[in-house]
Structures are given as C-alpha cells and as structure tokens.
Amino acid sequence: MTPPAGPGSLFFTLLGQDMRVSSPSSNAPRRVVVTGGRGFIGAALVRRLAANGYPALPFDLHDGHDVCDERALLSAIEPGDTVVHLAAYADLYEARERPVEATRINVLGTACVADVVRRRQGRLVLASTLCVYGNQDTYPTPECAVPNPTEIYAQTKLAAEQVVSGMVASFGLDAAIVRFPGVYGPGMREALAVARFMRAADERGELLVHGDGRQTRSPMHVDDVADGLATVVRHAGFRGTVNLAAPEEISALDLARRIIALAGGGTIRHTLQRTPQTLRELADGTHAARELGWSPRISLAEGLQSTWRWWRAQRLAGGLSDT
C-alpha cells in the first residue's frame, strides 16, 4: 500500500519500491565535489557550476584520485559537501572486455563515494544512464519503469543505483539519481557514436552501423547534461530519481546520414548487430520539467552542427590525432 504523500512531497516507484521525493529547494550547496571532474561531462559541469557561483572541486583519476580510495575521498570531501558522482567505467566495449574492473569502478566505487558522503553528512548526486531501462513496453519511458538493462555496463550502473537506494533506506543518505542518455559535443570521447561517425565522415571513410540501423537513441549535448546536473545540485531538497530526457529520438542509420550530410562525405556500411542490443531509447522528461523546471535547450540539429564545427576546427589545428 502506498503511504499518503504529505505536504511538499510525492511518491513514485523505483525498483519496485516507493521512494519519497521532497519538493525541490533553492538552497545553495556550500561546495561541490565532482568525481570524474576532469572528464568530458565532468569538466563541462565544473565550468557550469563555477559560472553559477558554486565552488567546484574535481576529484579525478587524472590527478591520481581513485574513487575506491577511502582515504583520498575523506580528504577531498568535507562535511556538508554536495558530491556529483560522475566517475565511471563508461565505455560499453571496454566494460565488455574488462567486466571485473567495470564492476569495481562503477559499483564498489559508488559504494565508497556514497559511504563517505553519508559519513560527512553531505548530499550525493549519482550520475546514471538511460541504459538501465533497456528494452521497455512504454515510451517515452518514465522513472517508475522497471529497469531491464541489456549490457554489462548498464548492469553495473543499475547496481550502483541500488547501492545508493540501499544507503538511502538503511542510513538516510541524502541522495538523488540522475539518468541521462548518451552525450556528445565538444571534447567528446572518441568511443562515442557521434565521434566515431564524424571521424569516419571527415576522412571520407565508412560509417559502421550495427544491423539494419533502426535501433534508436536520444543523444544529448554536453551543455544540456551539465545544465541538468547543475539544476539538480541547485535544488538541494530534491530526492529520488529523475530522467534528463533529450529533445529527439533518432535511429543509428539516420544519425549516420545526418553526419555524412554535415561532412559532405563518407559512406555507410552495415555490420553485424551488436548483441545484446537495446532497440529503442526514449525517456519521459515530465518529472524533470515539473519538479525542477528543467528541459533541454539544444536541438539535435543545432548540437550536431556546432559539434561538427568544433571537430573541424580541432582537426585543422591538429588537436585531433589521425587514425
């Protein structure tokens, strides 16, 4: 039986359990620590937080900081800090090749970060992924949908969510979970689909599309993701899980075609379908709009155009290595 929602709160189903979400508050955090803060998304978030007047401290492997290192975490995280946990083993293919390491970073690392945040009486914002939904019956998919991840990477991210949810239930950890789609934009990793397609098109090569290419995704520009995460940080009273839903769903085949059109070159070659495969991705952004007043601002067309301009500028300046 669902307990009645009191003033300023609501209930929704997460992993089959009712979890309370307090109404958002505009109380500013004293300081923000961003794990993975020197990575693609993390660096964009640090810049956005700084622009909003929030002191932000990166905690990153590039600086020798391991999210499984309790001593380093205790040194970096001070009482009352908000911690945005972005550090993760994020490459689907690498996670397949090294599932134990992916589990160590994504699950044990999250447990270590969450435990230190709990002990410091801070707030945790866990960066998760729409990949946890996998193939669903309902689209756009709301946060109450039962997760059905298809990849080992997505399984580790769901396990990380469950660790955080367990600490909320057992210890009263102050936490929010943010699920967002694949991210693209200036500074993106070479392993991402948009980056792989742009490189192939730029070199007048082959854009490899799995299967018939009808599987869909909902790419989001990095600036929108950073803005969404910063909004969750700013709403210090927000609890529970929220989708950052992208403005457009697109098939792999149509994405390749759009990038070929931007580049003026490249050809499409179909290769074997990746298995297991999520066939469709489209999240419901109603909860974010209602509770946080947030929605993405950058259309896919605009985002791809600006990213292509950045890509070409980097290539001309020698900032992107040749394959």
For the entire predicted model, the pTM comes to: 0.91
**Which residues of the chain form beta strands (DSSP E)?**
9-14, 17-22, 32-35, 56-59, 82-85, 123-129, 174-180, 183-184, 206-210, 216-217, 220-221, 240-243, 250-251, 267-271
Q: Does residue 233 sit within a domain? A: yes
What is the sign of the dihedral through the CA atoms of 270, 274, 277 and 282? negative
For position 11, what pLDDT does the model report? 30
Q: Does residue 36 sit within a domain? A: yes
For position 50, what pLDDT does the model report? 95
What are the tens digits of pLDDT across the range 1-47? 333 333 233 333 344 333 334 344 546 678 999 999 999 999 999 99
d(CA 241, CA 105): 21
Q: Does residue 212 sit within a domain? A: no
Q: Does residue 93 sit within a domain? A: yes
d(CA 301, CA 130): 21
d(CA 168, CA 175): 7
For position 79, what pLDDT does the model report? 97
Q: Does residue 105 sit within a domain? A: yes
Q: Does residue 52 sit within a domain? A: yes
For position 27, what pLDDT does the model report? 63
For position 15, what pLDDT does the model report? 40
Q: What is the CATH number of the domain that holds 48?
A: 3.40.50.720
For position 8, what pLDDT does the model report? 31
How many CB atoms neighbour CB 169 within 10 A? Answer: 11
For position 318, what pLDDT does the model report? 82
Successive 10-residue mean pLDDT values, the chain, 323 residues: 32 36 55 97 97 95 96 97 97 94 98 98 98 98 98 97 98 98 96 96 97 98 98 97 95 98 98 94 98 98 98 86 47
The total domain count for the chain is 1
Q: Does residue 127 sit within a domain? A: yes
- Look up the domain containing 80 and give its range: 11-184+221-243
Q: Does residue 124 sit within a domain? A: yes
For position 28, what pLDDT does the model report? 67
What are the beta bridge partners of residue 283?
A: 141
How many CB atoms neighbour CB 45 within 10 A? Answer: 29
- What's the DSSP call for residue 24? P
Please name the residue ranges forming H helices in 56-122: 70-76, 92-97, 99-103, 109-119
